[in-house]
Amino acid sequence: MALVTVVVLVAVVAVLLERLSARGLRGARGSMSDGLGAGMLGELVDVFQPSRTHLTQERERQRTAIAQRPSEAPPFDVDLDAGVVRITPPPPRAD
């Protein structure tokens, strides 16, 4: 019985530490950083908050996502069956 009590107390302290560290480590925009829970207690906190893993992965994906600009080239038509490529020239400039 004593062992179960110790395990529960350790888990409660770990969750409280993670919550307090996350609350204290908010940036200027109010977003939460990974904080202390990601390093020291990350694996233990993941047991009690399974969605944290998904949240961390999504933040990393958004951080590394590349914003691509749309093409500025004029459109062209390709018909592979007929073997025809139709390229339209850009409109003349009014300079």
| Owning domain of residue 45 | 2-64
- Is 12's pLDDT higher than 60? yes
Q: Is there a domain that residue 27 lies in? A: yes
Residue 29 clears pLDDT 50, i.e. is over it: no
Q: 16 lies in a domain?
A: yes
Quick one: average pLDDT of 78-85? 86
For every residue of the chain, DSSP letters joined together read -HHHHHHHHHHHHHHHHHHHHHHHTB-TTSPBP-HHHHHTSHHHHHHH-THHHHHHHHHHHHHH---PPPP-SPPEEEETTTTEEEEPPPPPP--
Q: Is residue 83 part of a domain?
A: no
Domains in the chain: how many in total?
1
| Residue 75: inside a domain | no
Residue 13 lies in a domain: yes
Q: Taking the model in full, what pTM does it have?
A: 0.30
